[in-house]
Amino acid sequence: MNWIFIEIKNIFSLLVQIFKTELFELGNQSFSIKNITEIISLIVLVVFFSRTIKKWLKEWILVNLGIKKGTKEAIAAIINYIITIAGILIVLHNTGIDLTSITVIAGALSIGIGIGMKNIISNFVSGLTILIAQPIKIGDFIEVDDLSGIVEKTSIRSTVIKTIDGIFVIIPNNFIVEKNIINWSHKDSTSRIHIPIGVAYGSNTALVKKALLDAAIKEKKVLSIPSPKVWFKGFGDSALNFELLVWIKYPHLIDEIRSYLNFSIDLELRSRNISIPFPQRDLHIRQINDLIQTHQKAESTTSGKNQKKLSNSLVKNIAKTKQNPSKLNLRDLLRQISYFQNCNNIELRDVIENGYRKIVPRGEIICLEGEPGDSFYIILSGSVEVFSAKANKYITTRYAGEFIGEMSLILGIARTASLRATEDTILFVVDRENLHNLLAKHQRLADKISEELSRRLETLKNLGLLDNQENSQETAMIWIRNRIYTLFGI
Domains and CATH numbers, the chain: 18-116 (no CATH), 130-183 (2.30.30.60), 191-271 (3.30.70.100), 333-488 (2.60.120.10)
Contact (Cβ atoms closer than 8 angstroms) between residue 239 and residue 197: no
Rg (CA), the chain: 36
Pick from 406, 420, 409: nearest CA to 366: 420
More confident residue, 457 or 175: 175
* The predicted structure's pLDDT at residue 283: 66
CA distance readout (Å), 347 to 2, 74, 81, 216: 90, 44, 53, 16
Q: pLDDT tens across 23-56, in order?
A: 666 556 666 777 778 888 888 888 888 888 888 8
Helices (H) and strands (E) in the chain, counts: 17, 18
In 3D space, the residue among 149, 145, 144 whose CA is nearest the CA of residue 168 turns out to be: 149
How many CB atoms are closer than 10 A to CB 146? 5
- At residue 133, the pLDDT reads 72
Neighbours of 284 (CB within 10 A): 5
Angle (CA) 456-457-463 rounded to 5° is: 95
Indicate if the pLDDT at residue 473 is higher than 70: no
For strand 158-163 and strand 147-154, is the pairing parallel, antiparallel, or unpaired?
antiparallel
Q: Does residue 38 or residue 6 have the better pLDDT? A: 38
Q: CA-to-CA distance for 403 and 400, rounded, in angstroms?
A: 9
Highest mean pLDDT out of 66-70, 98-102, 468-472: 66-70
Distance between CA atoms of residues 115 and 227, nearest Å: 55
pLDDT-derived band of residue 66, with 50, 70 and 90 as boundaries?
low
pLDDT at 298 over 70: no
Please list, in sequence order, all residues whose beta carbon lies within 8 angstroms of the beta carbon of residue 345, skipping any fewer than 6 positions away.
Answer: 263, 267, 331
pLDDT at 320: 45
- Assign 233 a pLDDT band (cuts: 50, 70, 90): very high
Name residue 246's beta-bridge partners: 193
